[in-house]
Amino acid sequence: MNVRIFALVVTASAVLAPGLPALAQEDFFVSGNEAYQQGDYDTALENYSRIVNAGFESAPLYYNIGNTYFKLGELGPSILNFERAARLDPGNEDVQANLDLARSLATDEIIPLPDFLLFRIVSWWVHLLPLSVLGVLTAAAYLATTGALVGATLGAAPKLLGRTAIATGFVTAVLSINLFAIHFGWGSRVEAIVMETEAPVFSAPSEDSSLLVFNVHEGTKVRIDEQTGQWIEIVLEDGTVGWMKAAATEVI
């Protein structure tokens, strides 16, 4: 994916969270892309992982990680990272196309139930803008608010700049809420991807063979409704419910 888009996300992160070595991550991203183009997928993944481990995330980054895992033949991690990219940039056709391709190779064929209308509306509002655009706009609104406040304080057109500060401050607050809602998953369902080749699902949090109800396979998406110790209660996209080991999954 485009290095410029990744750079915009990194720049916005630097403004919103100063002190982090944000700009250094672009070098890892470029190096990862170069390694990927040369077919050195292990090195590409190592470079991308260094960015994630440093605390940064973006749709282009997760998209590239998903592609790299796909080339390595690791379906679960590939779907996991495409899902993460889709959450950050839900309108991206490339991400959705590759996610659909990867999911088509999964063993379990599950027909999803439709989402509730209210959940769809909230999800649409929170993800109205891609994270890269949202981050840049939030940073710009914050800088505009700060500049207007400084100008009003110094006596340069205090009424006009005061009103400007109020308006841009409101915009900053709204954009920040969306930004943090995406980053921390506020109001989102906790979903995960099955990472094991095959994982048993039981009717209760117990490995008693008489309670085994079915198996799920690598790449299947589940919703986590409850966790008890090492067990999670999952709901498949078709509404099927059961219990499985949390270690068999990774949260999106």
The per-residue pLDDT for range 13-61, each reduced to its tens digit, is 444 444 445 556 788 999 999 999 999 999 999 999 999 998 888 899 9
Q: How confident is the model at residue 212 (pLDDT cuts 50, 70, 90)?
A: very high
- pTM tops 0.85: no
DSSP 217: E
Which amino acid, residue 65? I
Chosen CATH of 3-104 out of 1.25.40.10, 3.65.10.10, 3.30.980.20, 3.40.309.10: 1.25.40.10
Which amino acid, residue 183? H
What is the rounded distance in angstroms from the CA atom of residue 169 to the CA atom of residue 46? 40
How confident is the model over 92-106, as a mean pLDDT? 96
What is the rounded distance in angstroms from the CA atom of residue 205 to the CA atom of residue 213? 12
The total of other beta-carbon atoms located within 10 Å of residue 251's CB is 13
What is the rounded distance in angstroms from the CA atom of residue 71 to the CA atom of residue 13? 29
Task: Quote the tokens at residue 35.
Answer: 């390694």
What is the DSSP pairing of strand 212-217 with strand 198-202?
antiparallel
CATH topology of 3-104 equal to that of 191-251? no
Task: Quote the tokens at residue 211.
Answer: 């309670």
What is the tens place of the pLDDT at every residue in 227-251? 999 999 999 999 999 999 999 999 9
Q: Is the domain covering 191-251 a CATH 2.30.30.40 domain?
A: yes
- The contacts of residue 50 (CB under 8 Å, 6+ apart) are 25, 28
Report domain extents, the chain. Answer: 3-104, 119-184, 191-251
